[in-house]
Amino acid sequence: MVAASLPQPNDVRHAARVVLGTALGLVALGLVMVYSTSSALHAVDGSGHTDMLLRQLRWVVLGVLAATAAAFAPPAWLRRAAVPAMVVAILLLALTLILGPAVKGSRRWLYVAGFSLQASELLKIAVLLYLADRLARRDEAAEAGRSGRLLPILAPVGIGLLLVLVAPDLGTALFIAAQAVVLLAFAGVRPTRVLPLALTVIPAVGLFAYTRFPHVRNRLQIYSSGADEGSQLHEALVAIGSGGALGKGLGQGAQKLGYFAEAHNDFIFAVIGEELGFLGCAAVVCAYMAMAWYGRRIAWAARRLDSHALYLAAGATFIVTFQALINIAVVTATAPTKGVSLPFVSTGGSNLLMASVCIGLLLGVARRAAIGAGPSR
């Protein structure tokens, strides 16, 4: 009965095409908007008009290569790489805390040979690979009549979260915690096993961040008091509101001319709202909704393979779409300000590579589900 209700190969292929087409469309939109915002930066400070676009194009090429590698990587390789990826991510986070420069009181970037790396983005992929493998092993042990303990599985994830929190980066720590909870839910872990820990840890972490990190207090106070006139969030709302239904036209936005920072990154959705209007914003939201819907279809189809494929597909879909949700919520003042990029659209290499790998993993699962490949052991 369950197998008969799973999406058929043609449905899975269609879902994969939609996911791939949506990702490519968002990348194309991102390049256009990056060019638009780079022209604004040129007008404000005289920076190179095409430098930002060329950098983003290079990252897009690397993203395509990363997605291709992830899509065609044998499942057994992904499972063998799970623990090493987690170790590397933890080491890079530790190196960032030691060697990374402090920017606005936070150490989040590691600079190597002229490249900047945000290790917390790598941690998202590492946690996905690690938990997909470990939870699948737990399922396999249960099938063999053995029980697997949950705490040892979660210990490396906790170490990574602690390093991210020390950076400090509360938003990313909570994001990865949510990612882990989603994968545990797909693994059928009873809420009673996770809820006591969550009710203890989350308030403690929130209180610690609120008392120790001034920027966390400032962001929460700004959110609770509303977007004051002249603030970055207020200017973003002005940009979205002034765009109307159809927008002012590409390159015609005014708010990006120094009224709010990170117009090319965290607040690029506001630039879309001003220049492409409600229609452009709605198209972006619908694109991520389509990615979530068809990613879910692929994850459901992955059940005919094994639990590892299910966890990979579900986790990859969650990472991309949940991050998009957070970014849009922040820009529209629905959530407290948090420096998070809009996947495939914002500038930045680490985030683009992370999102590309997620799409590659999702397409790899879809390809195997469509051809009926066997378990990934």
Question: CA 345 to CA 25: how far, in whole Å?
Answer: 10
Per-residue model confidence (pLDDT) at position 212: 66
Do residues 321 and 369 share a domain?
yes
Q: Is the pTM of this model over 0.85?
A: yes
Per-residue model confidence (pLDDT) at position 72: 95
Of 212, 243, 264, the residue that ends a domain is: 212
What residue has token string 């990613």? 295
Q: Locate 34 and state its tokens.
A: 């990056």
Number of domains making up the chain: 2
Question: CA 123 to CA 134: how far, in whole Å?
Answer: 16
Cβ-based neighbours of 300, under 8 Å, separated by 6 or more:
6, 7
Per-residue model confidence (pLDDT) at position 2: 46
Cβ-based neighbours of 47, under 8 Å, separated by 6 or more:
38, 41
What's the pLDDT band for 246 if we cut at 50, 70, 90?
confident
Mean pLDDT value of segment 261-288: 89
Do residues 323 and 201 share a domain?
no
Give the domain range for residue 50.
24-72+227-377
Instruction: List, for residues 82-119, the tens digit of each pLDDT value.
Output: 999 999 999 999 998 888 777 766 777 777 766 778 88
Task: Residue 147: name the closest of 189, 198, 87, 210 by CA.
Answer: 189
Instruction: List, for residues 5-36, the tens digit of each pLDDT value.
Output: 666 777 899 999 999 999 999 999 999 988 88
Mean pLDDT value of segment 324-343: 86
For the cut 80, the answer to whether the pLDDT of residue 188 exceeds it is yes
Of 164, 188, 212, the residue that ends a domain is: 212
Instruction: List, for residues 127-171, the tens digit of each pLDDT value.
Output: 999 999 999 999 888 877 676 677 788 899 999 998 988 887 878
For the cut 90, the answer to whether the pLDDT of residue 299 exceeds it is yes
Do residues 377 and 231 share a domain?
yes
Does any domain span residue 12?
no
Long-range contacts of 185-190 (CB under 8 A, 24+ apart): 186/135, 186/310, 186/311, 186/314, 187/135, 187/138, 187/139, 187/307, 187/311, 189/150
At 276 the three-state DSSP class reads helix
Question: CA 230 to CA 207: how far, in whole Å?
Answer: 29
Of 212, 241, 271, the residue that ends a domain is: 212
Do residues 304 and 348 share a domain?
yes
Peptide bond into 168 cis (omega under 30): yes
Do residues 343 and 253 share a domain?
yes
